[in-house]
Amino acid sequence: AIRDGVIEASINHEQGYVQSREIIDVYTTREPMNAFHQRIQFCLKVHNEAVKAMRYPPKKYHEELETAQ
């Protein structure tokens, strides 16, 4: 995991321990908030499109169906 970059640390083979590097606190930046905001916007857009798709068709559509029969 260290070699792949998943964990930022170094191995001290002589003393037999793993020393993790200090990582900056990601939550002090605006990046998590922006990512969350984008996810919420996407979910709301999908919801609104689904609600619009479930609406009844306009009355003009019903009139066209009645005259077609």
For the chain, the structural domain boundaries read 26-68
pLDDT at 48 over 90: yes
pLDDT value, residue 69: 56
Q: Which residue has the higher pLDDT, 9 or 61?
A: 9
Q: What is the pLDDT of residue 29?
A: 83
What is the DSSP code (8-state) at residue 7? S
With a pLDDT cut of 70, the percent of the chain lying above it is 80
Judged on CB neighbours under 10 Å (0-12, 13-18, 19+), 9 is middle
Instruction: Assign residue 5 a region (left: φ > 0; alpha: ψ between -120 and 50; beta: otherwise).
Output: left
pLDDT in tens, 10-35: 888 889 888 887 767 767 888 889 99
From CA 60, how far away is CA 48, in angstroms rounded? 23
Tell whether pTM > 0.75.
no
